[in-house]
């Protein structure tokens, strides 16, 4: 829905120039000229200018470690909105951007101020704020939020160089994912919603082993050394962003299997901040109480190691939060639907929507445990948030025009 404002001016022979900053993709300006008295030398011209701009973009921030391509989360999120997210066609093949009908996902690595050689010379990791241009990040995200298209640089992960920029047009929803979406205070204020993906050290180690052992040159030692070397910078710069996030998805090793180190069965905690505008935390049975729930029993049979849920209010870095936790994994469709039917405030549009989304992407990693479930739930929450924001914006000018 577009919001249009009408300007009328009567000026003597002066033609209004369109405001410079508003020339963007989504803005259309129609200028009407009417001549009231033709023949008199000082003909008055009444000028009516109508300026329309589409809704301001909703900006979501996603923070997580290592590269971009939290693609599983992104794909689940864009799938909730409908449509598949793909790299921009015809552009740089090494572009990190993903575009779908409603969403555009930008990788914050594109705002590196130092390329790989630059960082090596200075002895600085990509996690270090000195390697990133926060001024540019702030300017461009602000511009997109205001409906102006920008030329965003591209950081090529293969060559390690900064490639020529690509044009990003303002979408309905902009997702900025990377290492520092909430680091800079100005960028933080632009975010309508923020998510932090917190993977515990044991799980990170297990996942990286799975990812890298097939790679030539890697060994257990090199993987371990890589994680250890990055840890100081990670703890100093990335981890503190947790406190600013509206939602933290914490992934821990399971407590259901003693001494498990495969990282396949996981304990996932969804930590939701209370009091965030347009966001109502998910709860189990009774909001604000403490619940421990094992769905497996008479009505539902689960296979080893079963599923265990917990819900409780808590404090997190000085903020009031609600924590929903799942430990274990889903093996069957009916387990999923059973669990879904007992969760409240999940913002689904129909019964079974979460299950349907999980099934749609059953090949994605995490589809059988809390990571997939909570990512899907967060996706639905974001959709709900987006719709509420749009409705609120639509209501505002109508109220203004009535007044």
Q: Which residues bind other proteins (CB under 8 A)?
A: 66-67, 69, 71, 116, 119-120, 122-127, 157-158, 160, 208, 211-218, 222, 225-226, 228-230, 232-233
Query: Least CB distance from residue 119 to other proteins, whole Å?
Result: 5
User: In angstroms, what is the minimal distance from the CB of 74 to other proteins?
Assistant: 12
Phi, psi at 257, each rounded to 5°: -115, 115
Residue 131 Cβ vs other proteins, minimum distance, rounded to whole Å: 9
CB of 129 to other proteins, least distance (A): 14
Angle at 72 between CA 163 and CA 280, to 5 degrees: 115
What whole-number distance in Å separates Cα of residue 342 and Cα of residue 12?
A: 69
What distances in angstroms separate CA 230 from CA 3, 71, 129, 372, one per listed residue? 47, 22, 14, 27
Q: How far is the CB of 331 from other proteins (least distance, A)?
A: 21
Length of the chain measured in residues? 403
214 or 403: whose CB is closer to other proteins? 214
Q: How far is the CB of 61 from other proteins (least distance, A)?
A: 20
Helix (H), strand (E) at residue 244 = none
Does residue 174 contact residue 104 with C-beta atoms inside 8 Å? yes
Nearer to other proteins, 209 or 294 (CB): 209
Closer to other proteins by Cβ: residue 155 or 316:
155
Instruction: Classify the C-alpha dihedral 246-248-249-255 as positive or negative.
Output: negative
Enter the tokens of residue 141.
């995200």
Task: Output the furthest CA–CA distance in the chain (Å, rounded).
Answer: 94
Rounded distance between C-alpha atoms, residue 329 and residue 265, angstroms: 6
User: Closest distance between other proteins and the C-beta of residue 220, in Å?
Assistant: 12
User: Nearer to other proteins by C-beta: 123 or 164?
Assistant: 123
Pair 12, 36: CB distance under 8 Å: no
Q: Nearer Cβ to other proteins, position 227 or 346?
A: 227
200/312 with CB nearer other proteins: 200
18: left (phi over 0), alpha (psi -120 to 50) or beta: beta
- Secondary element (H or E) of residue 122: helix 116-122
For residue 105, what are its two tokens? 């996902």
> What's the closest the beta carbon of residue 154 comes to other proteins, in angstroms?
14
Helices (H), 51-110: 71-81
Cβ-based neighbour number of residue 263 at 10 Å: 20
Which residue, 217 or 258, has its beta carbon nearer to other proteins? Answer: 217
In the complex with other proteins, which residue's Cβ is closer, 198 or 233? 233
What is the closest distance, in whole angstroms, from the C-beta atom of residue 216 to other proteins in the complex? 4
| Contact yes or no for 307/339 (Cβ under 8 A) | yes
Determine contact, residues 265/254, Cβ cutoff 8 Å.
yes
In this complex, which beta carbon is closest to other proteins, that of residue 67 or of residue 91?
A: 67
């Amino acid at each position: 829905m577009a919001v249009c404002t009408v300007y009328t001016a009567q000026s003597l022979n002066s033609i209004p120039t369109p405001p410079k900053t508003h020339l963007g993709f989504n803005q259309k300006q129609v200028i009407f000229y009417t001549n009231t008295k033709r023949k008199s030398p000082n003909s008055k011209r009444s000028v009516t200018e109508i300026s329309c701009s589409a809704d301001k973009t909703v900006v979501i921030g996603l923070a997580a470690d290592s590269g971009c391509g939290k693609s599983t989360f992104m794909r689940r999120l864009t799938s909730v909105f409908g449509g598949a997210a793909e790299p921009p066609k015809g552009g740089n093949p090494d572009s990190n951007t993903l575009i779908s009908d409603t969403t555009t996902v930008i990788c914050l690595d594109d705002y590196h101020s130092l390329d790989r050689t630059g960082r090596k010379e200075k002895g600085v990791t990509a996690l270090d704020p000195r390697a990133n241009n926060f001024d540019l990040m702030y300017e461009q995200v602000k511009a997109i939020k205001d409906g102006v298209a920008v030329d965003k640089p591209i950081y090529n992960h293969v060559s390690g160089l900064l490639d020529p920029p690509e044009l990003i047009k303002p979408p309905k929803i902009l997702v900025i994912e990377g290492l520092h979406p909430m680091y800079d205070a100005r960028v933080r204020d632009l975010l309508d919603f923020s998510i932090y993906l917190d993977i515990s050290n044991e799980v990170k180690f297990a996942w990286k082993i799975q990812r890298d052992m097939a790679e030539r040159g890697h060994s257990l030692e090199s993987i371990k050394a890589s994680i250890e070397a990055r840890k100081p910078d990670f703890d100093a710069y990335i981890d503190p962003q947790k406190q600013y996030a509206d939602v933290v998805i914490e992934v821990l090793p399971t407590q259901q299997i003693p001494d498990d180190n495969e990282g396949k069965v996981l304990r996932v905690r969804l930590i939701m901040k209370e009091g965030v505008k347009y966001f109502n935390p998910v709860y189990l049975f009774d909001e604000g109480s403490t619940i421990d729930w094992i769905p497996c029993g008479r009505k539902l049979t689960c296979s080893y190691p079963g599923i265990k849920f917990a819900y409780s209010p808590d404090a997190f870095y000085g903020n009031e939060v609600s924590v929903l936790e799942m430990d274990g994994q889903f093996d069957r469709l009916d387990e999923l639907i059973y669990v879904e039917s007992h969760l409240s405030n999940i913002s689904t549009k129909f019964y079974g929507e979460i299950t349907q989304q999980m099934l749609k992407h059953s090949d994605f990693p995490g589809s059988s445990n809390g990571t997939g479930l909570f990512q899907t739930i967060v996706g639905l929450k974001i959709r709900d948030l987006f719709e509420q924001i749009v409705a609120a914006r639509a209501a505002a000018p109508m109220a203004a025009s009535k007044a």
